[in-house]
Chains A and B, each alone.
Chain A
Amino acid sequence: MRKVYFDHNASSPVHPEVAAAVQPFLGDLFGNPSSIHWAGRDVRKAVEDARAEIAAFYGCRPLEVILTSSGTEADNLAVKGAAYRPGNAGKHIITSQVEHPAIMNTCRFLETQGFRVTYVPVNRQGIVEPDAVRSALAKDTFLVSIMAANNETGCLMPIGEIGAIAKEAGVLMHTDAVQATGKVPLAWETLPVDMLTFSGHKVNGLKGAGGLLVRKGMEVEAVLHGGHQERGRRGGTENVVGIVAIGKAFSLLSKNMAAEAAEVRRLRDAFERALFARIPDIVLNGHPTLRLPNTVNISFRFVEGEALLLNLDMMGIACSSGSACTSGSIEGSPILLAMGADPTDSQGALRFSLGLGNTDEDVSYAVDAIETVVTKLRAMSPLYHPQRAKVR
């Protein structure tokens, strides 16, 4: 069976050069980077080289990079690390209704600890409007956290404008750039942002490593207390393999990002155009242009996303739908609901996210398969009447 991977926003394939770069660290280079001796020194150099690659990619200083185990940990460090600074107890945080659970559930936790949180809405196209943030500002707001790009719709948020509003109000600005990194330019030097989250496995690195950029001069409280690693801001022996992988992945991005983004955009656009040309009654979720070049989220009306997703899986096509709950089953997407999508439409929504290794053949195989399955499922649906649907 042909396999097509259209779920790069969930995780992305390991780049062959990344796989090669980590090999020595599965062999001779096993030392603890904190050790004084030769075994530690060699490994420490690799960690710092990786940090330098990350810094070069964003245009930040190496010491502004805190390495963590994941994007989730970096988000926790950003929000809790700011919240637990002296003087912030019980004060106010602004975030959005479409953040990743790493931000959403951290904020909900902080609410149980006495903090106040405003979850600003998005517009119909899934974008957080800067004015919504401005009007949510309170006298004691100390943090705004708005993602750079949404994981489900790919919508790009105006973090430049929102960051400027925060700066003007003297409020810290964090952005979760896990999805945006490697797909759209993010220039640390000019972005009015104090903290930025990234993750290795979304950019053809390895799972288990991510990080937070923290602007020089800003302090965050550690969330993981332990050794003096990351200059006391994150305890725990470094995930050397994962960090080396990120370093390599970012060095590749520094060279190739523009060309790769253009190629993935070409494939995504061809895919999207073909779907809209061949399948009636489908709806684009998200902004038509202010969007990651690799992501398209579509509601197939009169079809359950679950049935569509499972059929596509059995045909070898990997994509995703809504959000998985604890049990592993699929729920309607809270993100699409926050955008004001029809609840029925949000049930039938699928996210396709393209990336490294995808081809024109993948696109045409997937379009054929999706057309076949949607047609079959609609024929079974008591709700679907093509004639009537056309009039609507």
Chain B
Amino acid sequence: MTKKRILAAMSGGVDSSVAALLLQREGWEVVGISMDLYDYSKVTRDREGTCCSLDDLYDARRVCDTLGIPYYVLNLREEFRREVIDPFVREYKAGRTPNPCILCNEHLKFRALLRKADELGAEGVATGHYAVIRREPGGRCRLFASPDAGKDQSYFLYSLDSDRLRRIRFPVGEMLKEQVRRIALEAGLPVYEKRESQDICFVTDDSYTRFLENRGIREDHGRFVDREGNFLGNHKGILGYTVGQRRGLGIASKEPLYVVAIDAEKNEIVLGSDGETFSGGATVVTPTFVAGAPPGKEFRATAKVRYHHPGAPCVVRATSDRLEVAFDTPQRSVTPGQALVLYDGDEVLGGGWIECAGVSRS
């Protein structure tokens, strides 16, 4: 009997390497692949710790050699530019702080790669994400946070629905990081002690501003103002600031000042006290739900407003194209452009993009 084929997305890191190994042990015919997303020669060669630098591709290839599986680098530059970089730049221009990793998961890892899986005769795609897919009788799939709370990546995966989850596997999703490293060490995979990957892979020189400037976005100096619009000082261009930021504002004041809002149209940055960075709610657009629809018109959930946010109990009112989220207690730095992800306990219900902090009164 021929084995069933699956694509293992390899980043060159320990998690995806062990994921491929575990699939192989389960009896899959594993095909290792990496995505060629941009011109790697423009990213510093030794910059470890992104999803996929040129050195990481080397590591991925060596892991596949060790496993004795084929390895291909797929050219997805065009899709990456269209679906991730362009929106990233657009969002920044609009004064929001975008999250390209979610877009990359949504459009590249779990859309383009599933198409590649079809083309290559594979059942689906596996990655090294820390999140758990439960397959119910009848075929419905549900998404849960990883038991390793420190590593959980379900926040980045909220936009996957049941139909897509059915074709996706997270072989290390239910493990602890230490277990994963141990498996890699025991299996002799050459990557067991690599550092974690966290950075945004395509931003070079650790400088957003330079990356964006290279994309033709000019930095116009503008005004820092308070809530009432009073002039507080000059900023160096909105690209360099994000909501909740305190350091590097260069404004002398009795109490510490924080960025509380960015107005791209006026090229103004609103500063305020610690208390003013808190919001009672958020308006969320382009919502999606793992189950295909929200659990009700109005329901309780826990909202994460950024990756490492511990989660805030809230009430959600759902309409067809947006969610109005009211937190039980106000939350710090609810940032337009970031994703808000809704949980019921460990289960991911869905989420969307934060359009503005605070619940609209309409």
**Is the pair B119, A380 in contact by a Cβ cutoff of 8 Å?**
yes
**Is the pair B70, A313 in contact by a Cβ cutoff of 8 Å?**
yes
**Is the pair B120, A311 in contact by a Cβ cutoff of 8 Å?**
yes
Contacts of B34 in A (CB 8 A): 327
Q: Given the interface contacts A310-B120, A314-B120, A380-B119, does A329 sit within 8 Å of B73 by beta carbon?
A: yes
**Is the pair A326, B120 in contact by a Cβ cutoff of 8 Å?**
no
**Which listed residue (B72, B75, B115) contacts A331, Cβ 8 A?**
B75
> In the complex, how many residue pairs between chain A and chain B have their CB atoms under 8 Å apart?
45
Contacts of A325 in B (CB 8 A): 36, 75
Q: Other than the known A328-B73, A380-B118, what 16 A-B pairs have Cβ atoms closer than 8 Å? A: A306-B74, A306-B75, A307-B119, A310-B119, A313-B70, A314-B121, A326-B40, A326-B41, A326-B54, A327-B40, A327-B57, A327-B73, A329-B36, A329-B72, A329-B73, A380-B119
Contacts of B119 in A (CB 8 A): 304, 307, 310-311, 377, 380
How distant is the Cα of A283 from the Cα of B208 in the complex, in angstroms? 45
**Which listed residue (A306, A311, A331) contacts B121, Cβ 8 A?**
A311
Chain A 311-325, CB-CB to B under 8 Å as 1, else 0, gives 101100000000001
Contacts of A56 in B (CB 8 A): none
Number of interface residues, chain B, beta carbon within 8 A: 19
Tell which of A314, A325, A328 has the most Cβ of chain B within 10 Å: A328
Q: Given the interface contacts A313-B70, A314-B70, does A329 sit within 8 Å of B75 by beta carbon?
A: yes
Contacts of A164 in B (CB 8 A): none
Q: Is A330 an interface residue (CB 8 A)?
A: yes
Q: Is B116 an interface residue (CB 8 A)?
A: yes
Contacts of B73 in A (CB 8 A): 327-329
How distant is the Cα of A376 from the Cα of B120 in the complex, in angstroms? 10
Chain B 70-101, CB-CB to A under 8 Å as 1, else 0, gives 10111100000000000000000000000000
Q: Give the interface residue-count category, chain A.
A: 10 to 19
Contacts of A306 in B (CB 8 A): 74-75
Chain B 115-134, CB-CB to A under 8 Å as 1, else 0, gives 11011110000000000000
Tell which of A326, A327, A376, A377 has the most Cβ of chain B within 10 Å: A327
Show 13 residue pairs from A and B whose CB-CB distance is below 8 angstroms, ordered by the A residue. A306-B74, A306-B75, A307-B116, A307-B120, A310-B119, A311-B119, A314-B31, A325-B75, A327-B34, A327-B54, A328-B61, A328-B72, A329-B36
For B35, the closest partner residue in chain A by CB is A329
Contacts of B115 in A (CB 8 A): 380
How distant is the Cα of A311 from the Cα of B40 in the complex, in angstroms? 26
Contacts of A328 in B (CB 8 A): 36, 57, 61, 72-73
The 8 tightest CB contacts between A and B, nearest first, are A329-B36, A329-B75, A329-B73, A307-B119, A328-B73, A327-B36, A327-B73, A330-B75
How distant is the Cα of A304 from the Cα of B74 in the complex, in angstroms? 11
How distant is the Cα of A326 from the Cα of B119 in the complex, in angstroms? 24
How distant is the Cα of A328 from the Cα of B61 in the complex, in angstroms? 10
Chain B 20-52, CB-CB to A under 8 Å as 1, else 0, gives 000000000001001010001100000000000
